[in-house]
Amino acid sequence: MANLNKVFLMGNLTRDPQLSYLPSQTAVVELGLAVNRRWNGQDGQPREETTFVDIVAYGRQAETISKYLKKGRPFFVEGRLKLDQWEAQDGTKRSKMRVILEGFQFIDSRPAGGSQQIDGDAAMDEISAPESRPAPRAYGRPAPAGGPAAGSRQAPPDDEPPPIREDDIPF
């Protein structure tokens, strides 16, 4: 029987990442993510719900997240679900679903070329146009084989077909 446990989430951090270390000196960071869903109800009125997700990251990823992210920042997460179960001091059984982070991307909301540090609690009023944003930085997954080499031509935007050269025609 085939199995798949993969989660993709994008939202805003609900608290500053909390970095700690295991006895093996492996870095661990715990963070919260708020993911919003908007839709129109049957009565035509706009509705919104927010889901709060606990996320755990380990190793170098944990250190990077702790260093660069603050409460309120947008964040893209790739991971897997894990159910933690334990018995509380009063004898009741408890459980909690978490996402174990496997990869992530910073969703940059700073203006292009700006080395300006954005405080996670500050309102992020200025959002740059997509064409002026730097490319998202991906962490946790190796670059695909045969990816673009240094110095290669950049692909045109999706809304514009690439120019056809005589060399491209197969006949």
Token pair of 158, please? 């999706």
Token pair of 118, please? 């954005």
The confidence band for 121, taking pLDDT boundaries of 50, 70 and 90, is very low
Phi and psi torsions of 130, nearest 5° = -55, -35
pLDDT (tens digit, 9 = 90+) per residue, 65-98? Answer: 999 999 999 999 999 999 999 999 999 999 999 9
Q: Count CB atoms within 10 A of the CB of residue 39.
A: 8
68 or 130: which leads in pLDDT: 68
Token pair of 84, please? 């933690």
Does the pLDDT of residue 110 top 80, yes or no?
A: no
Average pLDDT, the chain: 77
5 or 124: which leads in pLDDT: 5
Residues linked to residue 106 through DSSP beta bridges, in sequence order: 75
Residues linked to residue 75 through DSSP beta bridges, in sequence order: 11, 106
138: Cβ contacts below 8 Å, ≥ 6 apart: 103, 104, 105
Positive/negative CA dihedral, 162, 165, 168, 171: positive
The confidence band for 167, taking pLDDT boundaries of 50, 70 and 90, is low
Q: Please state the length of the chain.
A: 171
Please state the separation of Cα 84 from the chain's center in Å: 22
Does the pLDDT of residue 11 top 70, yes or no?
A: yes
List helix spans (H) across the chain.
Answer: 59-68
The confidence band for 1, taking pLDDT boundaries of 50, 70 and 90, is confident
H or E stretch at 18: strand 18-21
Any idea where the domains of the chain sit in the sequence? Answer: 7-145
The amino acid occupying position 83 is: L
Interatomic CA distance for residues 23 and 82, integer angstroms = 22
The predicted structure's pLDDT at residue 128:
31
The confidence band for 169, taking pLDDT boundaries of 50, 70 and 90, is low
Does the pLDDT of residue 20 top 50, yes or no?
A: yes
Kindly report the CATH number that applies to the domain delimited by 7-145: 2.40.50.140
The predicted structure's pLDDT at residue 138:
54
Does the pLDDT of residue 113 top 80, yes or no?
A: no
Residues linked to residue 76 through DSSP beta bridges, in sequence order: 10, 105
